[in-house]
Amino acid sequence: MDLNRIRQLLDRQPGVSAWQLLHVAQDETTVIRLPLLFSPQLDVRNSSFVISSNPHPREVISTPSESVWVTLYCETSSDGKTRLGDALGQLTNDREEDVKPVLSSLAAAARAQRNQPFALPDSKETYPDVELSDPAIATLNQKELVEQAQVFNERMLKAAAGLDHVDVSNLELFLRRYDRTFLSSSGISHAQRSTKVEAEICFLARPDSAHAGEHTARVQARRISDLVPEQIAAEYGPAARAIALAGPAREFSGPVILEGEACADFLDLAKNPLSFHSSARFVHEKASRYEPGKPVHEGQLAGDPLDLVSDPLIAFGLRSAPLDERDGTTCRRVSLARDGCFDELVGLRRYFAYLGLSRPSGAVGNTVIPAGKRPLSELAGGDCVVIKAFSDLHVDGASGEYAVEVRLGERRKNGAAEPFKGGLFVGNWFRSIADARYSKETRVRSGFYGPLAVRLGSATLAA
Amino acid sequence: MSSFPPDLLSLRSFLPGLVASVGRNVPYACALVTARAGLQVIKSKSVEKVNPTPPDPGIRISVWDGATWHSVCTNRLTDRDYLLKLARELGSSVSVKPGPAPEPGPPLDRHFESTMRQDSASVDAKTKQQLAGRAFAAITGFDKRVVNAQAVYSDDHEYRLFCDPGRLLSSDVCRTTVFCVAMAADGTRQVMDYEFRTGTGFEAVASLEDSVFTKAASDAVENLSAEKVPPAEYRCLLHPDIAGTLAHESFGHGCEVDTMMRGAARALSFIGRRVGSDLVNITDSPGMPGCNGSLFFSDDGVIAEEPVKLVKKGILQPTMMCDRYSYLMMKDRLPGLRQSASGRLETWNHPIYARMTNTYFEPLARDQGGTSYDEMLASTDSGIQLEKMQSGMEDPLGWGVQLQCTRGREIKDGRFTGRLFYMVGVTGYVPDVLASVDAVGTDSRLDSVGMCGKGHKEYVRTATGGPWVRCRVRLG
């Protein structure tokens, strides 16, 4: 698309006080494999299957696409005050006869809003250099991207072949390459190439004819080399086997250790309620419990105080970005919890302006939590429950309440470990972290940079 | 085709030539086009937003080589030469393998449109803004403990074109929704609740009373005094949305053939066997008019004619939900399997999977064992009524299930005690839960606005509902 032509049309659009434009050219390749096909034994009424191998992919998809996302800002006057509205639209070609009606509808939508104005970033905005593009993907053509995906998939299948009674039952790989350009009427011009690799790998364990279990690795990274098939197989394959053989959950109250994926789920800003309560929007709307310096946790602190940073500037971080594409604000590191207390806010430039704060944060970045002082072996010692995976953790953003099914856990007692599945891990996030101890070992996966495990001193498993 | 955009109409007549240009050396080729139009209005405490829906147009040209689907997708819909080039390159890039081939079926050229009294596109933006503003004012004015609210109005036309050597199909599916969230706080605690109304055209929301919006506010305020439910197994009355989600997570996901064929659904070895009480009948119905998950044809071109009966009188049926790939690979291995209109994708450049649409327990007439809601409540000595769905998660191999409900109301001796529970987690072993179903309602509703993922991604619009259902589940 000819961005200059679109810029000219934007500049000529009546009633527009400012505009921002994001051009995204994208190449995407998807390869899906179902390596084994199961069907029931037609003449036997039992649980056995006919299993055949399926050497061919289920689907191969190539996507070359290009879009321009335009935000129009329109100032109006209402009751003697200046008001600001904005509207976001998509262009998929640069033909004047197609672009003009879109811009007109966006301008009409923006003029219908009576929001408090705020200052948009201008050409003085400086963006940090953040590496986001994998050289191994960045220059490949579509055919080579498919070949790259197939190489990864074969390596994954080979890694799983060494597992004990565990197969890969589904393997999906998405390779994405983006060229993004952000322009604004105030003179901002920023271009960046980025890549993203996403894999969903289901490990199916059938240790004997009576037991089966599946565990799915959902992993994302900027670089394909950050997804190591052998490591993924070593973590998720044995977990699938443990799920297959796990017994039912039993009622438990006491220390619960969240390890690996369960720990990251519990602490990641994508799921934890800190992102809600540290959001400039919800602080402005007085829906947050945020007060700078006030403890994040509820109740008496009995464990390690929480330190949590939103960091969008980590090289090749999944949630790294030099600028917030929603409004062109420079992204920066933000300390959301320091020494167990609320610290800075994160969110859109608009809400920082409404709150009278001068340094907007840009978008939420990667979750960074420093390592704790104790090794996992110490945290998980004694009589406790270790949870390794949840079915699907949802923490209520407002209250912090959660009740989540356990996909894989272990009851540890007198030196023995008994795997279980099912039961509900219930509690309140803010009360839980009052008695949390973080492991010395760390984990980096899909935008989470933090401890491998957290021990919650007093937790409940309902079964 | 009165409401169909002219550029898509023009593309409709172009598609047969495009599909033919793929070439004759492949067993089958097809093309799918999707696009949207609509408006969203959001009113919250700090801003009001009015935004036309981004059209997200795109085409997916696919060929089947006997074993694999190969697709090329792009949003450059206006460049016809480019599309023809992509199609020709795709056709010449594959090598044909021995294997089953899709049957296009008898020739069909048909257009479908949602039925409605008033197309939301014909209503001006100001009226929609006023509606969202009225909802917001009603919620925030209800009680000083309501500290925040958000009212969202949205309308949407979802356009689809499908073309293969036998069929040329198009559809315009409309949806209009008002969704309100209220947040209440009392200085020590923040809680939320919601209320919504949805339908096809603007008539679904045009004359909503303020009481609809204040219900979100009053429920949120009530939730301030709610407790955490004591963990235990309870006899529960499930609101239709929650009962439908139980159906969806249990033998909805468990009966998606692409999950079964990779060994990840235990239902594969239970076809024809008992998985619930005699009262349990579970159905997925893509062609049901006017529901959130309704469609006229699937994204792989199968007309939505018949509901898919998944469980009948407690017995798992061989009629499952399949996309075209899983049907081709399994039709000779699963006797009784029929091609269903279940192949769906999140957006035009995503894979097509076997998916649900509108999933529900079937209501039962009185002479078939159905029970009215009042009778169900009156005959519950001790239990909890679960309301307001939050989320659900399937486990088709382990047969676990997870639901999260916004609230539960305690029942003693057939009456509500006034004791309330907030954010109630529900779990259980699916066959035990379905075997415990001892009452199914006589009336049915399917008016939810859910989205469903395949695992944790690939979200598509679905509805859950049906009658009230009573069963035993574990809460926490």
Tell me the per-residue pLDDT of A226-238, one tens digit each, with 9 for 90 and over.
999 999 999 999 9
Provide the chain B residues 380-409 that lie in CB contact (below 8 A) with chain A.
390-391, 393, 395, 397-398, 400-402, 404
Q: A281 to chain B: which residues are within 8 Å by CB?
A: 46
Q: How many angstroms separate the first and last alpha carbons of chain B?
A: 51
The answer to whether A58 touches A11, Cβ cutoff 8 Å, is no
User: Which residues from B are below 8 Å from A394, CB to CB?
Assistant: 390-391, 404
Query: Does B199 share its domain with B270?
Result: no
Residue numbers of the domain that contains A211:
15-245
pLDDT tier for residue A47 given thresholds of 50, 70 and 90: low
Q: Is A344 in contact with A335 (CB distance < 8 Å)?
A: yes
Task: Find the helix or strand (DSSP H, E) in which A267 lies.
Answer: helix A261-267
Residue contact A391–B402, C-beta within 8 A: yes
Provide DSSP, A394-414.
-B-TTT-EEEEEEEEEEEEET
Q: Which residues of B touch A282 (CB under 8 A)?
A: 148
Question: Distance between CA B157 and CA A278 in Å, rounded?
Answer: 36
Number of domains forming the structure of chain B? 2
| Assigned domain for B1 exists | no
- The DSSP letter of residue B364 is -
Q: What is the band of A109 on the pLDDT scale with cuts at 50, 70, 90?
A: very high
- Residue given tokens 């994204």 in the structure block: B299
The answer to whether residue A110 scores a pLDDT higher than 60 is yes
B30 with B110, same domain: the answer is yes
Domain CATH code at residue B126: 3.30.2290.10
Q: Are B285 and B252 in contact (CB under 8 A)?
A: no
pLDDT band for position A44 (50/70/90)? very low
Same domain, yes or no: B276 and B387: yes
- The one-digit pLDDT tens for each residue of chain B (476 residues) are 667 899 999 999 999 999 999 988 899 999 999 999 999 999 999 999 999 999 999 999 999 999 999 999 999 999 999 999 999 999 999 999 999 999 888 899 999 999 999 999 999 999 999 999 999 999 999 999 999 999 999 999 999 999 999 999 999 999 999 999 999 999 888 999 999 999 999 999 999 999 999 999 999 999 999 999 999 999 999 999 999 999 999 999 999 999 999 999 999 989 999 999 999 999 999 999 999 999 999 999 999 999 999 999 999 999 999 999 999 999 998 888 999 999 999 999 999 999 999 999 999 999 999 999 999 999 999 999 999 999 999 899 999 999 999 999 999 999 999 999 999 999 999 999 999 999 999 999 999 999 999 988 999 999 999 999 999 999 99
Strand partners, B282: B311, B361
Give the end of a domain, one of B158, B192, B223. Answer: B223
In this structure, the number of other CB atoms found within 10 A of the CB of residue A265 comes to 21
Q: Please indicate, yes or no, whether residues A241 and A265 belong to a single structural domain of this protein.
A: no
**What are residue A311's DSSP bridge partners?**
A366
In a domain, A1, yes or no: no
Q: How many CB pairs under 8 A join A and B?
A: 268
- Residues B26, B148, single domain; the answer is yes
Same domain, A113 and A226: yes
Q: Is the domain of A59 the same as that of A166?
A: yes
What was the pLDDT predicted at B2? 67
Overall average pLDDT of the A309-326 stretch: 98
Q: Do B272 and B398 fall within a single domain?
A: yes
A264 - beta bridge partners? none
Mean pLDDT in residue range A253-278: 96
Two tokens at A71?
């935000």
Q: State the residue range of the domain holding B112.
A: 6-223
Pick from A202, A221, A245: which residue ends a domain?
A245
Spell out the residues 6+ positions from residue B222 whose beta carbon is closer than 8 angstroms to its own.
B193, B407, B420
* B422 contacts A394? CB cut-off 8 A: no
Q: How many CA atoms lie within 13 A of A197 on its CB side?
A: 26
* Closest CB from B74, B350, B425 relative to A403: B425
Q: Are residues A163 and A193 in the same domain?
A: yes
Q: What angle do CA B392, B398, B404 make, to 5 degrees?
A: 20
Distance (Å, rounded) from C-alpha A386 to C-alpha A255?
9
**B46: in domain:** yes
Examine the domain organization and report whether A205 and A300 are in the same domain: no
Question: Does residue A225 lie within any of the structural domains?
Answer: yes
Asked if residue A140 is part of any domain, the answer here is yes
Q: A96-111 and A3-12 helices cross at what angle (nearest 10)?
A: 40
A198 to chain B: nearest residue by CA?
Answer: B457
- Collect all residues of chain B within an 8 Å Cβ-Cβ radius of residue A95: 78
Cβ contact (<8 Å) for A106 and B147? no
CB contact under 8 A, A284 and B57: no
- What is the H or E stretch that residue A259 is in? strand A252-259
List, for residues B240-257, the tens digit of each pLDDT value. 999 999 999 999 999 999
Whether residue A43 is predicted with pLDDT greater than 60 in this model: the reply is no
Residue A200 with chain B: CB contacts under 8 Å: 455, 457
Q: Which of B179, B201, B223 is the last residue of a domain?
A: B223
Distant-in-sequence, close-in-space partners of A80: CB < 8 Å, separation ≥ 6 = none
Residues A241 and A209 occupy one common structural domain = yes
Average pLDDT over residues A304-319: 98
Q: What is the model's pTM?
A: 0.95
Restricting to B residues 141-200, those with a Cβ less than 8 Å away from any Cβ of A are 147-148, 183, 185, 189-192
Instruction: Identify the domain boundary among A190, A222, A245.
Output: A245
CA dist A5 → A1, A96, A99, A361 (Å) = 9, 8, 10, 32
Same domain as B441, residue B296: yes
B29 and B116 assigned to the same domain = yes
A394 & A406 share domain = yes
pLDDT, tens digit (0-9, with 9 covering 90-100), for B117-164: 999 999 999 999 999 999 999 999 999 999 999 999 999 999 999 999
A49 and A189 share one domain: yes
- Residues B364, B274 within the same domain: yes
Burial classification of residue B21, based on how many CB atoms lie within 10 Å of its CB (0-12 exposed, 13-18 middle, 19 or more buried): middle
For residues A278 and A289, give the distance between their C-alpha atoms in angstroms, rounded to a whole number. 8
Average confidence score pLDDT of chain A: 95
Same domain, A220 and A258: no
Q: For A57, which residue in chain B has the nearest alpha carbon?
A: B68
- The alpha carbon torsion through B429, B430, B432, B437 (nearest 10 deg) reads 140
Domain count, chain A: 2
Residues of A in contact with B126 (CB under 8 A): 112
Half-sphere exposure of B119 toward its Cβ, with a 13 Å CA cutoff?
A: 13
Out of A245, A267, A288, a domain closes at: A245
Confidence class for position A46, pLDDT limits 50, 70, 90: low
Secondary structure string (H, E, C) spanning B33-69: EEEEEEEEEEEECCCEEEEECCCCCEEEEEEECCCCE
User: Are A206 and A274 members of one domain?
Assistant: no
User: ipTM, 2 decimals?
Assistant: 0.94
Give the pair of three-digit tokens for residue A379: 């945290």
